[in-house]
Chains A and B, each alone.
Chain A
Amino acid sequence: NAGVTQTPKFQVLKTGQSMTLQCAQDMNHNSMYWYRQDPGMGLRLIYYSASEGTTDKGEVPNGYNVSRLNKREFSLRLESAAPSQTSVYFCASSLPNNEQFFGPGTRLTVL
């Protein structure tokens, strides 16, 4: 079991560019999440998906879109990147009412 995998590990974008962060899990979990982690601010929920075909906004959804492609995959898209979106992005997954398992993260820099 690979658990939760994320690609890419690192990415540098210029302001205005777009990109998609990929996340996949092989634990047959129903729920998947995207967080961002900034220094001194802990992790903040961007979007989550309680099941295939559903998505909901978290605490900081502005500037992001998500797609729950199937039960395994949950992608996060930045349509027009801004320097304020420089952060480390974590994907997580879980069964209902169970612990969340996190991926290794994607470090994104927007210049």
Chain B
Amino acid sequence: GENVEQHPSTLSVQEGDSAVIKCTYSDSASNYFPWYKQELGKGPQLIIDIRSNVGEKKDQRIAVTLNKTAKHFSLHITETQPEDSAVYFCAASIGFGNEKLTFGTGTRLTIIP
């Protein structure tokens, strides 16, 4: 089955600086890669996703890049703000559907004011 590794497990960034979280996946058949943000005591919420036919996707301060050859994808958050503090999860799904997501182990991001 699919295996997703995520690094780092914790990340502290000064407010206004950029944060980068990286994930690698094992199955070359994976072609859907979402990123979720989880705030304390809440369920995960999708913040951005990318499919394998696209190399990069941006949404305001958030971007995701995908390197299919190397089987890794990254989340970039620019101009970080205190409300960006949360746990972030990457995931991957084999095939064209998104039913069987395999999640990474999460990154706890702390923004230092």
Q: Is the CB of A90 within 8 A of B99?
A: no
At the interface, yes or no: B42 with Cβ under 8 Å from chain A? yes
**Complex interface: chain B residues within 8 A of A34 (CB):** none
In order of increasing CB-CB distance, the 8 nearest A-B pairs are: A102-B43, A42-B103, A99-B46, A43-B103, A42-B105, A102-B44, A104-B43, A90-B43
CA–CA, A43 and B36, complex, Å: 11
At the interface, yes or no: A83 with Cβ under 8 Å from chain B? no
Q: Which of A4, A97, A100 contacts B101 (CB 8 A)?
A: A100
CA–CA, A13 and B105, complex, Å: 27
Contact of A45 with B101 at beta-carbon distance under 8 Å, contacts A4-B43, A102-B43, A104-B42 already known? yes
**B interface with A by C-beta (< 8 Å):** 1, 4, 6, 9, 34, 36, 41-46, 49, 89, 96-106
Q: Is the CB of B99 within 8 A of A50?
A: yes
**Residues of chain A in range 27-58 having any CB-CB distance to chain B below 8 Å:** 31, 33, 40-45, 48, 50, 56, 58
CA–CA, A44 and B106, complex, Å: 12
Closest to A92 in B: B43
Q: Is the CB of A99 within 8 A of B99?
A: no
Q: Is the CB of B43 within 8 A of A42?
A: no
Residues of B contacting A: mostly? loop
At the interface, yes or no: A96 with Cβ under 8 Å from chain B? yes
Interface size class of A (residues with CB under 8 A): 20 to 34
Q: Is the CB of A43 within 8 A of B44?
A: yes
Closest to B95 in A: A97
Shortest C-beta distance, A89 to chain B (Å), equals: 10
Closest to A58 in B: B100
A-B contact pairs, 11 of them (CB 8 A): A40-B9, A42-B103, A42-B105, A48-B100, A50-B99, A59-B102, A100-B34, A101-B46, A102-B36, A102-B44, A103-B43
Contact of A97 with B97 at beta-carbon distance under 8 Å, contacts A90-B43, A104-B43, A105-B43 already known? yes
Residue among A4, A44, A97, A100 facing the most chain B CB atoms (10 A cut-off): A100
